[in-house]
Structure 1
Amino acid sequence: MGRAVPGIATLRSYRPSLFGKDLVAGLVVTTLLIPQGMAYAELAGLPAITGLYTTILALLGYALFGPSRVLVLGPDSSLGPMIAATVLPLVAADGSPETAVAYASVLALMVGAITVLAGVLELGFVADLLSRPTQIGYMNGLALTIMVGQLPKLFGFSVDADSLLAEAAAFVQAVADGETVGAALAVGVACLALIVVLQRVWPVFPSVLGAVVLAIAAVTVFDLEDRGVSLVGELPAGFPPFTIPTVPLEDLMLLFAGALGIALVSLTDTISTASVFAQKTGTEVDGNREMIGVGAASVAAGLFQGFPVSTSGSRTAVAFQSGSRTQVTGLVGAAAIVAMLLFAPGLLRNLPQPALAAVVIAASLSLADIAGLRRLHRQRRSDFVLAVVAFLGVALLGVLPGIAVAVGMSILNVFRRVWWPHQAVLGRASGLRGYHDTAYHPTTEHLPRLAIYRFDAPLLFANARTFRDQVRRLGAIEPTPRWIIVAAESITDVDTTAADMLEDLEQELAEAGTRLVFAELKDAVRAKMKAYELNRTVHADQFYPTVRTAVEAYASAEGVDWEPGPSAYRLD
């Protein structure tokens, strides 16, 4: 029971001495949860109140089923545009907030079910489908998309557009047409500047809370509503009822497609954040249990008019710095939000919409990683190209196609590295023991008519042709090698396609007078080759335990000795 529902085990073993720290941390993080929850709900195209409902249920769901003692879940800036891109096209004809909430709640149930099922089936590896370069590109594209989408609200007007370029063009046109509300822009820019500056110079201060309080005060003092500034207005009092949302059956597949992308981003974000804080607390990350925990949080939100959730690195950091020790911190935060809805629903009535836009834009700035792009450009150009393609996928195609592009690029990058792995001709270098890549260590001596070739990948259908063609090229160099030794330690697998290729290649080389031998081939791989009946042509005397023993066998069989200078055999 304790493993299935970790929250119960935590409460059973909870020490009262921890409550003071959890209480303070819970109240501090609530100052972030409320404005960010509302802002991210509107980012998802939903009423602000749904962000508070979602926050409450996400905290409760993860407190019961999540394995981490410190993670804080809730609405997230990276999921907001994905939710909007999935839901809003389906409710465009209806346009009512109630319909949008129903679709978002069904989406939350789907995301939660996918995530929980992935955890139960121990599919934690799916979080690796977004490589770091594609994550950087995707998040930079998402940051730009969020920022451009929030600029009209910051300037006090709205635009009707459904893509980044269209939104940017509409925004510029509206500004040129004089639609900017000066008071709204002043409030929004002041809030954004305050949040950004305080986060840099005084990171322990709840900058979002400070901006929200000052914005509400400015509305009251300067009567900004009469100056054209839009306000959040009165929030519904009380707690939402348990609801099983329904949508037309024909829309379920479209929702499911969006749910897959949202689940992937949520899991990637959650597991990476959990790993960071596990290092800080000296614990281990269980990716599969994290899946169940974050899935339970989304399911709980979906049953109470909420939407999909993820881990928040910023809110988790605030809770941790404030002394959080257990998930009781999340329970305190949930209780504080419920208390506000029950007893003070009008508390945020005068919160200006430009202030919420500032909160979202500040969050988008934290998503952007320009330094990461520069590092990729400096360290590995191919990874930089992947990041740029992922960025353009989001910026030009949209958020959901962008995540598909990012995943596809990650998978293609893996395939590319398998298809064309690193290869090397090995030789002896002065002052070094063993045999080394001649591209990095100049060869000082060689054995005549011997080529030592290393292939740094599993030998599979995708790269069998690459292996065969390179060995053929080595075999065609004059003087024709008598032996080609394959340094096979890095060949971790051989499939049936590669086995057929090896059989044909061995016969082809033998007819040309060249012997193909293998050194340091793993026992498991050799057993597979035997199961493929490759031993009919590649015999036991063509396998050696080390490269050194293979080289010594060649020198003895051919009656040759080491000669000074580099070998004639090189890769193209």
Structure 2
Amino acid sequence: MGRTEARRTTARARLPSWVPVAPWVTDYRIAWLRSDAMAGAALFGLLIPSGMAYAQAAGLPPATGLYATIVPMVVYAAIGPSRVLVLAPDSSLAPLIAAAVLPLAAGSEARAVALAGLLAILMGLVMAAGAALRLGAVTHLLSRPIRLGYLGGLALVVVASQLPVLLGVEAQGDTPWQKLAATVGVLGETNLADLALGGGALALIGAVRAFGWKLAGVLPAVVLSALVTWAAGLGERVQVAGALPRGLPAPALGGITLADVVPLLLPAAGIALMAFADTGVLSQSLARQQGQSVSGNREMAAVGIANASAGLFGGFPISGSGSRTPVAVAAGARSQLAGVFASLLVVAFMLAAPAATAYLPTAALAAVVIAAVIGLVDGPAIVRLARMSLTETTLMAAAFVGVTTLGVLPGILVAVGLALLEFVRRAWSPYRAELGDLEDVPGYHDLSRHPEGVRVPGLVIARFDAPLFFANGAVFTGFVRSLVERADRDIRHVVIAAEPITGIDTTALDELVDLDEWLDRHGIELVFAELKGPVKDRLLKFGTRARFGPGHFYPTVSAAVRALRADRDERADRDERTDREERNHHDGRDEGDGRSQSRARDAGGEPPGDGSPSRSGPPKG
């Protein structure tokens, strides 16, 4: 170990385990400084237009998007476990924030900002509590088909909300379908200047993506649109973002009361789930690329704290950015210091040149948002899923319909509910098989896939590929009974290949006991092979020690078959010896009776013909 590496190891060892310091802080190398500074400069060019655009999409003042950029990036840099993840406002969260905040704000911009800050704080508390409860894997509730449908619906919601801004028209509607219909109805009122600026920005961003350039085209698109607006004197003809307020992020929670907390709790939990789902996947992917690992629970805590800090200083909920993180990586970022540099540049911009956005058209910001959410739709993945599974395609479509008809926040509940129902469906009726022996192939195999297999004499070997719980206990016992009833041979044992059974609850245990009693009445013994230790412990804890003793468990299916075959052969030998002894006994008794009859004839008497006493009396004289 080199001297530098030894110093870094010593520095980490001096810190208490509960100190959530980011890994780059103790491992940083001076040689990385230039790369991080260059990456921070490249990232800065994307943070300002994106932050302002996503704030606009959330129905908030553009400046709040910069506040939600500066504070969380600095906080996450200090405590986050990922070395290069960029935390910032995200297009996928904007409609969620708008749906939660705007109905409660009643048209007040200041109240909307305060409610958005409260939402971020609540979201942070939810994520911190989840990390404390070690719920870092909760995002697995959202399967890929459901996420595809959800993100597709989210893209439609955002496009429907931003298309009127791009066209410079007013269009109202409760659902994205209604907004799209209203937009079509007012196409004749399109502001051609807005359309030209917004469409031009959208075309430029798309062209940059089409050429595959590493750095996004967002900055040149918004800069050019602002220059055109200024040079052509369009400031009065199009809607502009306006100059930013000069100054640093500051608390903006005025007017918030405890009564505002309750209606935001459920939205905060839903947004936390979606934000961590995106952040967790992105963080783990980055860690794998760098040959490292990231704790899901620590990531959840860090993102939660960053969100709470954003809410305290005039921001709104944020998550890991799938568009800005690749920019930082492509620009050579080596650590979170790149994000710190970018945040300092944003602060410098807000202090030195806040009026630079005075001619920035909102149509160009709408183009930035639309370009971002179009990227949420993974067309190839949708086509691939449709070809592979009708069931999962149906789940994807249901999630899409839920988001686009019920609303974004209820759509999250629909997506999670569908995920849970799909899990229960799979666990309720899992794959199950009868196993048999294949010639010259080790182990025991599924007879439905290998009909040439041979059933083991005297045994039924069954496999059930799911934990046993209240919903599938009867399915399991019914499957085993059907195998026994259909057997065309004498069955002495049922062997459960129990490796896939990773748990059992009390309801399933009652079903298992009933099965054991039914088998016992038919002279059949139930045994388990490859049952996991924790499940076996649970069986014994439930009071079945007397019923399922040590002789009922085998380490492998092969070991169970060998032992039960040996037991069967031993019983057969014992039965054969018993039969032989009984035959010898009868033969010896018959031989003794023959000698008695011979002696009786020699004495002049008559032998009893049936073994009963002779009825002849004494001789007459």
User: So what's the TM-score if we normalise by structure 2?
Assistant: 0.85
Q: Distance in 1 between the 2:254 and 2:80 partners?
A: 24
Partner residue, 2:590: none
Q: Distance in 2 between the 1:244 and 1:418 partners?
A: 46
Q: 1:165 aligned to 2:174?
A: no
Q: Structure 1, residues 68-124: CA drift from partner, whole Å, max 9, x if none?
A: 2211111111111100010011112xx111010010011111111222232234321
Mapping 1:57-456, distance limit 5 Å: 57-92=71-106, 95-175=107-187, 178-226=188-236, 228-448=237-457, 450-456=459-465
Deviation at 1:38, TM superposition (A): 0.3
Deviation at 1:351, TM superposition (A): 0.9
Q: Structure 1, residues 15-44: CA drift from partner, whole Å, max 9, x if none?
A: 443222111111111111000000000111
Q: Distance in 2 between the 1:542 and 1:286 partners?
A: 40
Equivalent of residue 476 in structure 1, options 472, 485, 488: 485
Q: Distance in 2 between the 1:467 and 1:11 partners?
A: 54
Give the residue type in structure 2 aligned to 1:154. Answer: L
Q: Structure 1, residues 265-294: CA drift from partner, whole Å, max 9, x if none?
A: 111111111111112222211222212221
Superposition CA RMSD, Å? 2.2
Deviation at 1:300, TM superposition (A): 1.6
Identity %: 44
Q: 1:467 aligned to 2:497?
A: no
- How many residues align? The count is 555
Q: Distance in 1 between the 2:295 and 2:420 partners?
A: 24
Q: Distance in 2 between the 1:61 and 1:2 partners?
A: 19
8 Å contact from structure 2 (residues 447, 453) kept in 1 = no
Change (3 A) 1:91 1:531: same
Q: Distance in 1 between the 2:150 and 2:23 partners?
A: 38
Deviation at 1:538, TM superposition (A): 4.0
Give the residue type in structure 1 aligned to 2:299. Answer: E
Deviates more, 1:310-319 or 1:247-256: 247-256
Note the residue ranges of structure 2 that are not aligned, 5 or more in a row. 1-14, 571-621
Partner residue, 1:534: 544
Give the residue type in structure 2 aligned to 1:59. Answer: M
What secondary structure sits across from 1:433 in the alignment?
strand
Q: Distance in 1 between the 2:539 and 2:249 partners?
A: 63
Change (3 A) 1:440 1:245: farther
User: So what's the TM-score if we normalise by structure 1?
Assistant: 0.92
Deviation at 1:133, TM superposition (A): 2.1
8 Å contact from structure 2 (residues 22, 80) kept in 1 = no
Change (3 A) 1:243 1:478: closer
8 Å contact from structure 1 (residues 7, 327) kept in 2 = no
Change (3 A) 1:281 1:552: closer
Q: 1:505 aligned to 2:515?
A: yes
Give the residue type in structure 2 aligned to 1:379. Answer: M
Q: Distance in 1 between the 2:385 and 2:408 partners?
A: 23
Q: 1:551 aligned to 2:561?
A: yes
Give the residue type in structure 1 aligned to 2:142. Answer: L
What secondary structure sits across from 1:237 in the alignment?
coil
Give the residue type in structure 2 aligned to 1:527. Answer: D
Change (3 A) 1:500 1:364: same
Deviation at 1:327, TM superposition (A): 1.6
Give the residue type in structure 1 aligned to 2:98. Answer: A
Q: Structure 1, residues 345-399: CA drift from partner, whole Å, max 9, x if none?
A: 1111111111111100010011111222222223333332222221221111111
Note the residue ranges of structure 1 that are not aligned, 5 or more in a row. 561-572
Give the residue type in structure 1 aligned to 2:182. Answer: A
Give the residue type in structure 2 aligned to 1:85. Answer: A
Change (3 A) 1:431 1:389: farther
Equivalent of residue 50 in structure 1, options 59, 64, 73: 64
Q: Distance in 1 between the 2:506 and 2:254 partners?
A: 50
Change (3 A) 1:4 1:149: farther
More relative contact order in 1 or in 2 (CA 8 Å, sep 6+)? 1
8 Å contact from structure 1 (residues 475, 514) kept in 2 = no
Deviates more, 1:216-225 or 1:188-197: 216-225
Give the residue type in structure 2 aligned to 1:262. Answer: I
Deviation at 1:225, TM superposition (A): 3.1
Deviates more, 1:333-342 or 1:2-11: 2-11
What secondary structure sits across from 2:137 in the alignment?
helix
Q: 1:40 aligned to 2:49?
A: no
8 Å contact from structure 2 (residues 23, 81) kept in 1 = no
Give the residue type in structure 2 aligned to 1:83. Answer: I
Deviation at 1:449, TM superposition (A): 5.5
Q: Distance in 1 between the 2:487 and 2:51 partners?
A: 71
8 Å contact from structure 2 (residues 114, 252) kept in 1 = no
Q: Structure 1, residues 327-346: CA drift from partner, whole Å, max 9, x if none?
A: 22111111111111111111
Q: Structure 1, residues 232-285: CA drift from partner, whole Å, max 9, x if none?
A: 112212224334444243331111111001111111111111111112222211
Change (3 A) 1:282 1:487: closer
Q: Distance in 2 between the 1:370 and 1:340 partners?
A: 38
Partner residue, 1:566: none
Deviation at 1:318, TM superposition (A): 0.5
Deviation at 1:205, TM superposition (A): 3.3
What secondary structure sits across from 2:495 in the alignment?
strand
Q: Distance in 2 between the 1:455 and 1:279 partners?
A: 34
Q: Distance in 2 between the 1:522 and 1:304 partners?
A: 51
